[in-house]
Amino acid sequence: MHIKIDDTVEIITGADAASELRGKVLKVFPDTGKILVEGAAKVYKHVKPNDKNPRGGKLSKEMPIAISNVMLVCPECRERTKTGAKIKEDGSKVRYCKSCNAEIGQLSPAKN
Ligand SMILES: [Zn+2]
């Protein structure tokens, strides 16, 4: 799984692809290979007024989408990019952007 919570991703296939929608990853479902992306694949549900929503109305909710439908957006160069993994001198493993080489988060901690 190369996508993690709090990553910013861009939708590359499906209904949101045309608008080049970008959003933050809210949840990752490793079992199904799906992720929940803020603002992507929204569905609307009408609800009657209840205790939680005294006014009722229209609730929107994101649906999980396949991880293959998104690409990571590099926080450094702001391009959608592929990531690689490399092992640093201290033994830690990091992800990096294949476009600008910036490190994007640690995959495993340093070995001492
Ligand atoms: Zn980059």
| Å from CA of 31 to ligand 1 middle | 28
> Which residues place a Cβ less than 5 A from the ion ligand 1?
74, 76-77, 97, 99-100, 102
Q: What pLDDT does residue 45 have?
A: 86
pTM (two decimals): 0.80
Q: How far apart are CA 67 and CA 11, in angstroms?
A: 9
Q: Per-residue pLDDT averaged across 91-106, rounded?
A: 94
Model confidence band, residue 1 (pLDDT cutoffs 50, 70, 90): low
| Å from CA of 82 to ligand 1 middle | 9
- The tens digit of pLDDT for each residue in 21-76 reads 999 999 999 999 999 999 998 888 888 888 888 888 888 889 999 999 999 999 99
Q: Domains, the chain, ranges and CATH?
A: 1-73 (2.30.30.30), 81-112 (no CATH)
CA-CA-CA-CA torsion sign (6, 29, 33, 85): positive
Contacts of 71 (CB under 8 A, 6+ apart): 9, 10, 12, 80, 81, 82
